[in-house]
Amino acid sequence: MGYLDDYYSVSGSRREDLLKAVTLTLLIAVIAGGILYFFFKNYFEERRVSSFLMALQEGDHAEAYQFWGCSVEEPCRNYNYENFLQDWGSSSQFGQVERFRLGRSAEVGTGVIVEVYINGTLHPELWVEKGSKVVGFSPYKFRKSPFSP
């Protein structure tokens, strides 16, 4: 038996402790990753809706219209700027956007549904296409929870 044989050998209990530590670390990393994914998977789509509503809040309707993939110079075929102002202008049913907050969000197919509260009132859900980040009215609705008011 040589001088350094005991120095480099790992005893059975030390090996078990190392294996337990590595396993626990991996388990914690997987759980933390899952939690982060659950809370942030729609982050960019939610930020897109938030930017759209901030443009409305600032009264910049032309910029807000661009979030719908349209512009004042080149309006959308089925949703021109006048229709947009009827839906989102200061004289719309929503009124001037003074404050807003985002509610739930859910990924469905190629997009994300985002719940929107404007001036304290729940309004129609918005849809953000994942690829192009174009905002629009959602073709889907959230199911009403039996616990919601």
- Give pLDDT tens digits for 85-144: 999 988 888 788 999 999 999 999 999 999 999 998 888 899 999 999 999 999 988 776
52 with 17, same domain: the answer is no
Q: How confident is the model at residue 7 (pLDDT cuts 50, 70, 90)?
A: low
Q: Considering its fold, how many domains does the chain have in total?
A: 2
16 with 59, same domain: the answer is no
Q: What is the pLDDT of residues 9-41, one digit of tens each?
A: 555 678 888 999 999 999 999 999 999 998 899
For residue 108, the cross-strand partners are 111
Q: Per the domain annotation, does 142 fall within a domain?
A: no
In one-letter notation, the amino acid at residue 87 is D
- Structural domain that includes position 28: 5-38
29 with 47, same domain: the answer is no
In the three-class reduction of DSSP (H, G, I as helix; E, B as strand; rest coil), residue 13 is classed as helix
51 with 20, same domain: the answer is no
Token pair 């929503």 is found at 94
CATH of the domain at 64: 3.10.450
**What pLDDT does residue 145 have?**
57
Instruction: Give the whole-angstrom CA distance, residue 89 versus residue 137.
Output: 15
50 with 32, same domain: the answer is no
- How many Cβ atoms are within 10 Å of 50's Cβ, its own excluded? 15
Calculate Rg over the CA atoms of the chain: 26
Q: Per the domain annotation, does 16 fall within a domain?
A: yes
126 with 105, same domain: the answer is yes
> How many alpha carbons fall within 13 Å on the CB side of residue 67?
24
Instruction: Give the whole-angstrom CA distance, residue 26 versus residue 18.
Output: 12
48 with 32, same domain: the answer is no
DSSP 8-state code for residue 112: E
60 with 33, same domain: the answer is no
30 with 49, same domain: the answer is no
